[in-house]
Amino acid sequence: MSNAKRPDGRSYDELRPIKAELGIAKNADGSCYLEWGKNIVVATVNGPRPVLPKHLADPSKAIINYKYRMATFSVSERKSPVPGKRDKEISLVSGHALEAAVMVEQFPNTMIDVNVLILSADAGTRVAALTAASLAAADAGLAMRGLISAVAAGRANKQIVLDLNKEDEDTEDAVDMACAFLMPQKELALLQMDGFADKKECSKILETALKGAEKVYEIQKKALVSKYPVEGGIQ
């Protein structure tokens, strides 16, 4: 990729600055505060807890009750506090993605509540939310196969770009591919795409997203180790 810059000064394959801190909500079992460019996210995890009513329980695994919400003040036009179709869809697919990381089969007949609140939004909030939720799940001490490292990649101004901000997303030819990977296994856990791209371009975008997810994973590991020091670091 060239060294040319985007309007915000980033090169095409550069992430926005990311800062993550664990254990910020003392009444949650696990929590994470995440700044990702101008996105601000708080994720909490509680559980596993018994499912009520009992007939909704799954005897083979825990149900991940993932709620993605945007604060009314998180976007330029006041967001209704009532969850809309978008919030519900993001919640559903993100819950499934998180299931790839959490060993849900170890907690049959239970529910794990995951709440993610977007305090400030500048595109890429669903991937920032999943990245934070996965850290909150680890902070809660849940048995996990790995972490979910999520990032978007796509096209803006005819260029393949990593981590689109709102300005990139609002360009005329924009393609936005939200991806989540189970790391370090590099298994794809979520892929959603807005816009049109041919097969070759889709492959390039996915490749760009995976490289971005590897960087996100490094940041997540640092956040984990700063709260839970591990000799020799995490793989």
C-alpha span between 121 and 72 (Å, rounded): 11
CB atoms within 10 A of CB 203: 11
Q: Which is nearer to ligand CDP, 6 or 126 (CB)?
A: 126
C-alpha span between 64 and 98 (Å, rounded): 8
Where are the alpha helices (H) located in 140-231, listed in sequence order? 166-169, 199-227
Minimum separation from the CB atom of position 121 to ligand CDP (A): 4
For 225, the token pair is: 């180790």
Q: Are 48 and 112 in contact (CB under 8 A)?
A: yes
Contacts of 72 (CB under 8 A, 6+ apart): 78, 79, 80, 81
C-alpha span between 82 and 167 (Å, rounded): 26
**Options 145, 166, 211, 215; binder of ligand CDP; rule CB under 6 A:** 166
| 75 is an interface residue for ligand CDP by CB under 6 A | yes
**Options 28, 45, 102, 121; binder of ligand CDP; rule CB under 6 A:** 121
| 163 is an interface residue for ligand CDP by CB under 6 A | no
| 79 is an interface residue for ligand CDP by CB under 6 A | yes
Rg, the chain, Cα only:
17
| 123 is an interface residue for ligand CDP by CB under 6 A | yes
**Options 99, 122, 139, 163; binder of ligand CDP; rule CB under 6 A:** 122
For the segment 23-52, give every residue that binds ligand CDP (CB under 6 A).
Answer: none
**Options 13, 99, 168, 169; binder of ligand CDP; rule CB under 6 A:** 169
**Options 31, 44, 115, 125; binder of ligand CDP; rule CB under 6 A:** 125
Helix (H, G, I), strand (E, B), or coil: what is residue 96? helix
| 221 is an interface residue for ligand CDP by CB under 6 A | no
Q: Which is nearer to ligand CDP, 79 or 155 (CB)?
A: 79
Residues forming contacts to ligand CDP in the complex (CB under 6 A) are 75-76, 79, 86, 121-126, 166, 169, 176, 178
